[in-house]
Amino acid sequence: MNDELAHRAFLNIFPNRQIPRLVVKYSGKFGDYNGNVHILKEYRAIEQLEFSLSKKFIETGDEIKIGILQYLMNKVYKTKIETLEQDIYHSFIKNMTRYAERKESDPYLISLYQKLNNEYFNGLLEEPNLVFGQDSTSTLGHYNYSTDTVTISTILKKDEDLLKFVIYHELLHKKHSFTTKNGRSSYHTTAFRNDEKKFSVPDIEKKLTRFVSKKRIRSWF
């Protein structure tokens, strides 16, 4: 059944292209509604596409499954073909925020969120899940739309200005969500960037860049 869906998805956007073997599997390694695709080539031609989707997709409708499959197919073939199913998938992800499970958040992050919410969002931005993640210099913060969770690198704990800025950046993802056009998703829109510039600490991005560079240099010793 899943391979049949993959064929439907493929023919809908590539009616004149030769169909490779299409395999769809569900995996528990994804923490949200996500997936990836593995490409098998022979003599530079694509022989097989193996899609690995989150197990959470098992309970969704066929349109949503087809949507993420077509989204991944566009990435494989570097195309920007829009479909109704992709629109349904993206709309589904955007609206998952409303129904995300409430988890226990870090008290310190909650206190900073409350300050930011009052200062920049007129106290109207609903509180997401707020947690510290790994001691990472490559991913300082991340917003997960399907679980409504802001995750922050622990390297920022000792600098409150930088910590607040990264939290603010992730809260803007919650506020602005994302847009999809020509098969591509845009997360840092003009409206997003304009709001980001409203952060009250001057040259905060330069300060953050210097901070991360020093952390990376020290990690080599």
Which CATH number goes with the domain that contains 25?
A: 3.30.2010
Are 126 and 205 within one domain? yes
137 and 193 together in one domain: yes
Distance CA 205, CA 213 (A): 12
**CATH code (residue 186):** 3.30.2010.10
CB 132 within 8 A of CB 106: yes
- Of 102 and 2, the one with more pLDDT: 102
Sign of CA dihedral 200, 203, 207, 213: positive
| Cβ-contact 175, 195 below 8 angstroms | yes
Q: Is residue 70 located within the same domain as residue 157? A: no
Q: Looking at residue 220, what is its pLDDT? A: 45
Q: Cα–Cα–Cα angle for 32, 47, 180, nearest 5°?
A: 40
Q: What is the pLDDT of residues 27-52, one digit of tens each?
A: 888 767 888 999 999 888 899 999 99
Taking all residues of the chain, what is their mean pLDDT, rounded to a whole number? 89
Same domain, 124 and 208: yes
Determine contact, residues 112/91, Cβ cutoff 8 Å. Answer: no
Residues 106 and 214 both lie in one domain: yes
Question: For residue 125, what is the enclosing H or E element?
Answer: none
Q: 92-96, 156-160, 217-221: lowest mean pLDDT where? A: 217-221
The encoded tokens of residue 143 equal: 């917003």
Instruction: Count the neighbouring beta carbons within 10 Å of the beta carbon of residue 150.
Output: 26
Do both 82 and 118 map to the same domain? no
21 Cβ contact partners less than 8 Å away, ≥ 6 residues apart: 40, 47, 48, 49
Which residues constitute the domain of residue 154?
101-218
What is the pLDDT averaged over residues 109-118? Answer: 96
131-163 pLDDT, tens per residue? 999 988 889 999 988 788 999 999 999 899 999
- Boundary-marking domain end, from 98, 127, 152: 98
Together in a domain, 91 and 113: no
What is the structure's pLDDT at 216?
77
Domain boundary among 98, 122, 142: 98
pLDDT at 95: 78
Give the closest residue to 73 by CA, choosing from 166, 5, 142, 150: 5
In the prediction, which pLDDT does 30 show? 76
Together in a domain, 109 and 211: yes
Are 124 and 210 found together in one domain? Answer: yes
* Domains identified in the chain, total number: 2
Whether residue 221 is predicted with pLDDT greater than 60 in this model: the reply is: no
Portion of the chain with pLDDT greater than 70, in percent: 93
pLDDT tens digits, 58-83: 888 899 999 999 999 999 999 989 89
Query: What's the rounded Cα separation, in Å, for the pair 141 and 136?
Result: 9
Query: Both 86 and 174 in a single domain?
Result: no
pLDDT reported for residue 96:
75
Nearest to 167 by CA among 108, 100, 210: 108
Task: Output the pLDDT for position 217.
Answer: 66
